[in-house]
Amino acid sequence: MPVIRDVMPAFELFQPTSIADTLGLLSRHDDAWIMAGGLDSFDWLKDRIKRPSVIIDLGGVGELRGIREAEGGVEIGANTTLTELSSHPVVREKFRLLAEAAGIVGSPQIRNQGSIGGNLGQDTRCHYYRAGWPCYRAGGNICYADTPTAVNREHAILEADRCVAVSPSDSAPALIALDAQMVVRNADGERIVAARDFFIGPWLDITRMTVLKQGDLLVSIRVPGTFAGKSHYFEKVRDRQVWDFPLVNIAAAMATSGNTIDDVRLVVGGVAARPIRLVAAEDAIRGRTRNEDTAQLAADIATRGAVTLRHNAYKVPLMQNLVKRAIRGEGAWTS
């Protein structure tokens, strides 16, 4: 099925200037599409795959932008740009992992426009789904990427359930590794969602990649001081050095005493529909010396249960090598 590149479908545009006004609009329009930086949104609209009747542009809601220190950590407005986040002095000093992840998204032009909330909430980039093929995620009854002749080099090796599309976010693994929390509001009030639980797999809802439902608004992200100033690591493997989405990425935050691992978070992206926190590998290496044997142990545990497709078996050794590099601390930063 060819992609139709035509004029965008007609829609009614609202540009609120406050969170309260935004929530009011969301409560009145059941099919409203929330647009932050617009990068993911315009892709859908230009290709005429998504046809919302109402779009709510968050660009004028100043409450959703900015970074402030809070209780040893930081709170980040959901519409803060990736450039602001990657260059913020406090983020770079305390949470270098997050600054590096935000600073490697896309190109400078994309980072200047794209928001942290948009990067977290963007839809999967599976080319079958994005081109309008009637797959499971789009309401059909087949996964075109999981067929004998499919092009599936970029797809999942873990947690596949009908759909083998992957999470494309670079900032998501970093925030999970830092034990971040998402502040979500709707007409009924506010709730706090751990970053690890914010992203969902297709077994829960194949039509969504996050817990956000119609009427929900991601307001801010809170990063606690748990791993502030600790050893951080982020690496992204991609086909091109500019603009591309990750084939696999990894985020790690580690607290150590000398060369002993006291506590650790290991999170990988690009291998499943959600970023995967490697809890079993974390548990196995906690209290161990940070050396090659520990790195190999974590790598072996990390890819247990991996199921490859025709063209993506390379992701297994790639993911193992990234885990080992994170444990060894190759190029790691201590903020």
Distance between CA atoms of 78 and 280, rounded to whole angstroms? Answer: 31
Distance between CA atoms of 103 and 220, rounded to whole angstroms? Answer: 19
Q: Of 7-21, 61-75, 171-185, 308-322, which range is least confident? A: 7-21
- Report CA torsion sign: 38, 39, 43, 49: negative
Fold held by 66-121+167-329:
3.30.465
Beta-ladder partners of 163:
161
Strands 54-57 and 189-194: unpaired
- Residue 138: how many other CB atoms lie within 10 Å: 17
Between these two residues, 241 and 12, which has the higher pLDDT value? 12
Distance between CA atoms of 249 and 237, rounded to whole angstroms? Answer: 6
Distance between CA atoms of 260 and 231, rounded to whole angstroms? Answer: 12
Tokens 């990068």 map to which residue? 39
- pLDDT of residue 116 exceeding 90: yes
| pLDDT value of residue 41 | 82
Distance between CA atoms of 105 and 117, rounded to whole angstroms? Answer: 13
Query: Which helix H or strand E contains 324, and what residues bound it?
Result: helix 315-328
- pLDDT of residue 4 exceeding 70: no
Reported as a single tens digit per residue, the pLDDT across 22-75 is 999 999 999 899 999 888 887 788 777 788 899 999 999 999 999 999 999 999
CA distances from 101 to 121, 173, 219, 256 (A): 15, 9, 20, 22
- Domain residues of the chain, as ranges? 9-58, 66-121+167-329
- pLDDT of residue 334 exceeding 50: no
pTM of the model as a whole = 0.95
- pLDDT of residue 331 exceeding 60: no
Distance between CA atoms of 248 and 126, rounded to whole angstroms? Answer: 14
Q: Tell me, what DSSP letter sits at residue 131?
A: T
Reported as a single tens digit per residue, the pLDDT across 256-299 is 999 999 999 999 999 999 999 999 999 999 999 999 999 999 99
14 closest CA partner among 41, 37, 35, 40: 35
Fold match, 9-58 / 66-121+167-329: no
Fold held by 9-58:
3.30.43
